[in-house]
Chain A
Amino acid sequence: EAGVAQSPRYKIIEKRQSVAFWCNPISGHATLYWYQQILGQGPKLLIQFQNNGVVDDSQLPKDRFSAERLKGVDSTLKIQPAKLEDSAVYLCASSLERGRQFFGPGTRLTVL
């Protein structure tokens, strides 16, 4: 069974630039999550999708972050414009409804 795929693995940008991350969940998984993991901390949920609808985006900084999940499969997370404090690892996870979460390898973002 293929796991959760994420790209790119690494990204370096300057502040005020924009960046996008992509996630392909495990086939058949209805629920998709984006977590932000700042260095030295545990992951924090940014947004949760159930199929292509948003379930929880209470901790998403909506003035600069956006996410979409077209057709209930792949998802993209965008930051525009990026700030220094956005430097982090962005983890994507997926699960069957109410099931165990499987994580992707993450994208490490560095904002200079």
Chain B
Amino acid sequence: AQTVTQSQPEMSVQEAETVTLSCTYDTSENNYYLFWYKQPPSRQMILVIRQEAYKQQNATENRFSVNFQKAAKSFSLKISDSQLGDTAMYFCAFTFQGAQKLVFGQGTRLTINP
């Protein structure tokens, strides 16, 4: 079975600081994809960043980057120069080739303080 674990229920940092959210996953699949989604209070799930497992290079999207450690089955999200608008629930998610459905972790509530 595929599982995703986020061990940090809540995190809080000051604006402009860097914060790292942790995620581990378990799968026997070889071809899979990992995602970080942001869910603000509006409930709209927004894709932050995506990583293909076959790619060794870590994905980056502006202030967002990941540290993908395939052997350790770890996929952490780093947010640099955090902004008030980054305040949201963050979900790590996984899918494997052929399945398409997303398996989500429990989420980390991130608060950026002014």
Q: How many residues of B contact A (CB 8 A)?
A: 19
Contacts of B1-54 to chain A: CB distance below 8 A? 4, 42-47, 50
> Contact: A93 with B100, CB < 8 Å?
no
> Contact: A42 with B43, CB < 8 Å?
no
| Min CB gap A48→B, angstroms | 6
| Min CB gap B40→A, angstroms | 11
> Contact: A41 with B106, CB < 8 Å?
yes
Bound: A105/B42 CA distance, A? 7
Bound: A100/B35 CA distance, A? 10
- Interface, chain B (partner A; CB < 8 A): 4, 42-47, 50, 91, 93, 99-107
- Those 9 A-B pairs whose CB atoms lie nearest each other, nearest first: A42-B104, A103-B45, A106-B43, A45-B101, A42-B91, A43-B104, A105-B44, A42-B105, A42-B107
> Contact: A100 with B102, CB < 8 Å?
no
Partner of A42, one of B44, B47, B93, B100: B93
A14 at the interface (CB under 8 A from B): no
Bound: A55/B98 CA distance, A? 11
**Residue of B46, B100, B104, B106 with most partner-chain A CB within 10 A:** B100
> Contact: A101 with B42, CB < 8 Å?
no
